[in-house]
Amino acid sequence: MKSILWFFAAIASLVTWAGCAGTSRHASNSSGFAGSETNATTLVVTNSLNPALLQPSAQLFTLGPGDQLEIEIIGVPNSRATTVVGPDGKLYYHLLAGLDVWGRTLVETQDLLETSLGKYLSQPHVALTLRLVASKHVWLLGRLNRPGIYPMTGPMTLLEALSVAGGSARANTQLATEELADLRHSFVMRKSQLLPVDFYRLLREGDMSQNIYLEPDDFVYVPSALSQQVYVLGAVRFPRAVPFSEGMTLISAISGATGPVKIDWLSTTSTGLAPDAYMTHVAVVRGSLAQPQLSVVDANAILKGRIPDFPLQAGDIVYVPNVPYITLKKYFNTIASTFISTVAVNAGARAGGAQTVGVSVPIGGR
């Protein structure tokens, strides 16, 4: 499947986030981070969506390899047939040689069929129906009621897409309805870029300024709120999600990923740090991906007992760099890129064999 191959090629590269960064400052208890005694610096990133994302694409649906069409010459018995656009983008029907329809709209394809059939028939009229979309999809994965890879035949908003997938999962109890989806870490990835959509504002507050229009091959992921974990990424021996436990700290989380790369990091008598693990600039990202807080901590100072260890919360992202950051905004972009790439690779690999849903999209006769 072309879209699946594109997806795995796209997530092989790093993604960037064009967020709007606020000013950096020392962390305070009101920010949810440890106090200034940890010598942490905090960056607040504000959600800023491009207004163009809230407008549907003016481009009509175009055919591609794998799309299935039903074709009939009106008034000609036994002319109805179902055919598939080939891997070369060509359509084969009746007496016609392969017609190149890759990138053509349904109306353009209908015109091409009638023109080509006109060499053999007098003023043929063709009925054309799109029966199955295999060339354009959106990925709707994670804690949704019906996750999967869905065909996209026309303009579709994020809310419409989530509705197609059954909405975010919730569990009903006798006392309340429990949210099973982690809206803080939900994201939309497009062509290796993270779109700063605030899922909580959209789904819980009804803020339609977050209801963007999706495009083919967009990747929408809604993680589970039930998995209590901390994501430890970057220059550690085994980047992974570490199970969260009460009282977990920065050092214990890094230990859960078996420590930073190429360094005897548990020894406080180490004479220096390997360049693969720049422990003086370890980052902790907390809160919504749309409006996160980034705290930079000197983990080496913690190991040497100069400052207290940094307390973590479930859902925190810990990132150990291999070089010092230049600006906090660029540092955050790197962390966000690593996080969504890691999540997308794992989720996409699990969904790669999912079945797509057929559609019927006729075009009007003339």
Q: What is the pLDDT of residues 21-65, one digit of tens each?
A: 333 333 333 334 444 445 667 777 666 788 999 999 888 889 999
Of the candidates 285, 220, 225, the residue with the CA atom closest to the CA atom of residue 45: 285
Cβ neighbour number for residue 16 with a 10 Å cutoff: 14
Please list the residue range(s) of the chain that carry CATH number 3.10.560.10: 17-51+228-350
Choices 3.10.560.10, 3.90.180.10, 2.60.40.10, 2.60.40.1930: CATH for 17-51+228-350: 3.10.560.10
Parallel, antiparallel, or unpaired: how do β-strands 229-234 and 317-320 relate? Answer: parallel
- The angle that helices 328-351 and 2-10 make with each other, rounded to 10 degrees, is 150
Query: Between residues 188 and 29, which one has the greater pLDDT?
Result: 188
Amino acid 68 reads: Q
pTM over 0.75: no
- Please tell me the CATH code under which domain 68-134 is placed: 3.30.1950.10
Res 46: pLDDT = 67
Residue pair 282/319 in contact (Cβ under 8 Å)? The answer is: yes
Amino acid 233 reads: L
Tens-digit pLDDT profile for residues 309-332:
999 999 999 999 988 888 888 888
Res 357: pLDDT = 43
Q: Minimum mean pLDDT among 1-5, 242-246, 310-314, 325-329: which range?
A: 1-5
Please list the residue range(s) of the chain that carry CATH number 3.30.1950.10: 68-134
Q: Minimum mean pLDDT among 61-65, 159-163, 277-281, 322-326: which range?
A: 322-326
Tens-digit pLDDT profile for residues 90-129:
999 988 989 999 999 999 999 999 999 999 999 999 999 9
**For the chain, what is the mean pLDDT?**
81
Overall average pLDDT of the 216-243 stretch: 91
Cβ neighbour number for residue 93 with a 10 Å cutoff: 18
Query: Between residues 245 and 273, which one has the greater pLDDT?
Result: 245
Res 342: pLDDT = 85
Beta-bridge partner residues of 129: 70, 362
**352 band by pLDDT with thresholds 50, 70 and 90:** low
Cβ neighbour number for residue 157 with a 10 Å cutoff: 16
Rounded CA separation 286/280 (Å): 19
Residue pair 299/287 in contact (Cβ under 8 Å)? The answer is: no
Which tokens is 289 given? 């991906």
Of the candidates 230, 231, 237, 229, the residue with the CA atom closest to the CA atom of residue 322: 237
Rounded CA separation 274/236 (Å): 12
Res 64: pLDDT = 95
CA 33 to chain centre: 27
